[in-house]
Amino acid sequence: MLSPHLADFLKRLQQAEQLLRVEAEVSADLEIAEITRRVAASAGRALLFDNVCERTGAVATGLLASERRVCLALGADSLDAAADQIATHLAASDLPAPRVAATPACQQVIELGRDIDLVSLPLLRTTPDDAQAALGGAWLTTADPETSDPGTSDPGTSDPGTSDPGTLDPGTLDPGTLDPATAQTALTPCVALVQDRRALIITWCDRDPLAAHFRAAQRRGGRLPVAIFFGGPPALALLASPAWQLGRDVYAVVGGLADGTFEVATCRTHPLLVPAESELVIEGQLDTSDAAHEARTATLEVEMITHRTGPRLTAQVPGGPADEPAQLRRTAARLALPRLRAGHRAIRKLVCPDWAAGEVLLVAIEKRHAGEPREVAALIASDATFVRLRFLVLVDDDVDLADERQVWQRVASECRPTTDVIGSPHALGDEVPAMLAFDATRPWPEVDRAGRDRQTSVEQIRELVTARWSEYGMP
């Protein structure tokens, strides 16, 4: 059974001896990131820092930085078994909506006005080049402004500088309604910097659900309600993109994989749904000015923070092939195999090399006609799972993808730079690198890469030249 929330997952990790609790006082400024990188490089355990200097709450890192921990999050014995389960649920059109919790744990504590202090949260600065602390490991959810009910509350009308939390009764706020049975949850990985105590700078790319909703809010001339949550089901990192692409509600998929134990909660200020067992939720509205959209950034004005008592935040620390983001990209590729096979029958196997940090994909195909490598490349380039993919290598299915020497030998012998390097037909903008695909499959017998007739074999040509040798005036 899939782990439905962070507290459950930490318990699973503890029982499997895959979690190390650090009780010594540590700093959120670079120190936690350095510890996490060293542990990841030695294939160590996930880390839970209970005592973060001058910060409120604990922080967990490296939660999904190994295949074993990913399997624990998915509740599966292997990634292959998990891939089949996920493909079945993504294909289902009748998954029940998750229950709405009456008293969600994520709203045990409510902060408004002067109580809001983003600076006090254990948000990490992971490299010296970072100007300030950033949110990593959180999810941002929005609703389509053209179809959702905006509700009647407007906490943003109060002056954030003078608002007294005692004058705003969260029990009287009416966020409106959003029916989990009909809504498709839109989740975007949260990329944000702390601007001040009550504001975040949010960034996104064009394929994210946030981008479409931001443009819709911009057309309506209003601000876009947003909720950011920490501590939802860890598997959201592997399910959110394919569910959105296939038009499935990711909360319904999670609920099915979690055997109905997953619940959602309605935010207090706006009609947005978040996991009921989230550790912490930040609610607010995005400025939809033209200037912000041009830069794909916007300021989030925080209106409310709700959280569990003693929240534990999650963070992803980048650092190379062994880090959590790279492991997630490799895992997402493997889980996508059943879906890709359904999209194109030629696809047989795929591998993300460990050293490539999820930016190189090796694919073996059973080639049936000359144009299939380009068809497969276009399919993979259009899949949201591979939005960060830089290089795709296509080989015949007789190549052992686990033996990279075989793969690169086939590239050297079969891939011609002038005809067999395929540019991505789905480049997504300046912030996303265009993908290059290398067709290292053998030429199809009927037509070669230049469109010439290849039915005449090398042996036939040799026989022809031998028979006509005297005609050439050769001795």
- 422, two tokens: 């395929």
CB 54 within 8 A of CB 32: no
Q: Where are the beta strands (DSSP E) in 62-190?
A: 99-100, 109-111, 134-135, 139-142, 186-189
Instruction: Give pTM, 2 decimals.
Output: 0.82
Q: How many CA atoms lie within 13 A of 42 on its CB side?
A: 7
- 68, two tokens: 């074993």
Per-residue pLDDT of the chain (475 residues; tens, 9 = 90+): 999 999 999 999 999 999 999 999 999 999 999 999 999 989 899 999 999 998 989 999 999 999 999 999 999 999 999 999 999 999 998 888 899 999 999 999 999 999 999 999 999 999 888 888 888 889 999 998 887 654 434 444 444 344 443 344 545 455 555 555 556 788 999 989 999 999 999 998 887 899 999 999 988 888 999 999 999 999 999 999 899 888 899 999 999 999 999 999 999 999 999 999 999 999 999 988 765 555 688 999 999 999 999 999 999 998 877 789 888 988 998 999 998 999 999 999 999 887 876 789 999 999 999 899 999 999 998 888 887 788 999 999 999 999 999 999 999 999 999 889 988 644 444 444 468 999 999 987 655 444 444 445 667 788 888 888 888 887 7
Contacts of 202 (CB under 8 A, 6+ apart): 140, 190, 191, 192, 210, 226, 286, 297, 298, 299, 300
CA dist., res. 87 & res. 80, Å (int): 11
